[in-house]
Amino acid sequence: MTRSVQQLFDLKGKTALVTGGSRGLGLQMAQALGEAGARVVLTSRKAGDLEQAADMLKAQGINAQWIAADCANEADIHRLVHETTQLVGQIDILVNNAGASWGAPAEDHPTAAWDKVMNLNIRGYFLLSQAVAKAGMLEHGGRIINLASIAGLGGNPVEMKTIAYNTSKGAVLNFTRALAAEWGPRNINVNAICPGFFRTKMAEVLIDTMGEDVMTSRAPLRRLGDDEGLKGLTVLLASDAGKHITGQWVAVDGGVSAVLG
């Protein structure tokens, strides 16, 4: 029998691991998955922030746990996956969201900063996806959602000098396509979300530099993303409602990418 829309979006009985989940877009996505019924495990580097975020979700009736880990560190990634499976069982949904940025003109961009951004934004995604797959997802199937960015779709406004970040997010898009093609026969859907400008800590400096009016004027919807902007798409890509979507990216940017082509 064909399921209802409510049944297709229902995540009861599923477990989601969300990196960079203690604040910003990661916490927003974790909240969405929890509201749809999933058990949620948050991870980031700072235990205090994680505990506070998990307590907030629990207060809303969400089954939320947390494990502190550095997703730029291979040993920590393997520990994270082991502890998650010990805590909640198999991982059905992986949200690769932890990320770093660095602002500097390309001609002066420090090599160490380049490596830091690449290690977390793309190498970390690969290593964690690999570890989760080997921990059971290759056998039982699942969903992987990678956070890219509209910065990965092309160049940036001249005010933004973030070549390592842009490069890493462009790599995330093709990583998503390649992994979706390889793991599709194992019933693993892999997709990417490309947020535009949201009111996050990472974006605060840019908003202060460029001015909110300038930033919103570049979006046809004339606004920044808010604390609900990614929730619907996240649940779609994590649930059976999106079961036939894989290898795709979706921009959530108020229309900026449509204008830029």
Find, among 227, 219, 172, 162, the residue nearest to 198 by Cα.
227
| Beta pairing, strands 64-68 & 188-195 | unpaired
Give the tens place of pLDDT for each residue, 36-56: 999 999 999 999 999 999 999
CATH number at residue 184: 3.40.50.720
| Beta pairing, strands 39-44 & 15-19 | parallel
pLDDT score at 226? 93
| Cα separations in angstroms, 224 against 64, 197, 199 | 28, 6, 7
Which residue range forms the structural domain that includes residue 91?
A: 5-260
Find, among 109, 111, 249, the residue nearest to 175 by Cα.
249
Angle ∠(255,97,18) on CA atoms, nearest 5: 125
Q: Is 165 a catalytic residue?
A: yes
Tokens of 123: 């190498």
Give the predicted TM-score (pTM) of the model: 0.95
Query: Is the pLDDT assigned to residue 261 strictly greater than 80?
Result: no
Coil vs helix vs strand at 46: coil
Give the tens place of pLDDT for each residue, 117-127: 999 999 999 99
Domain count, the chain: 1
Give the tens place of pLDDT for each residue, 137-191: 999 999 999 999 998 998 766 567 889 999 999 999 999 999 999 999 999 999 9
Query: Distance between CA atoms of 204 and 159, rounded to whole angstroms?
Result: 14
pLDDT score at 156? 67
Query: Distance between CA atoms of 57 and 21, rounded to whole angstroms?
Result: 11
Per annotation, catalytic residue among 66, 165, 197, 249: 165
Q: Buried b / exposed e across 183-205, counting CB within 10 Å, b at 16+?
A: beeeebbbbbbbbbbbebebbee
Say which residue, 27 or 207, is predicted with more confidence: 27
pLDDT score at 205? 67
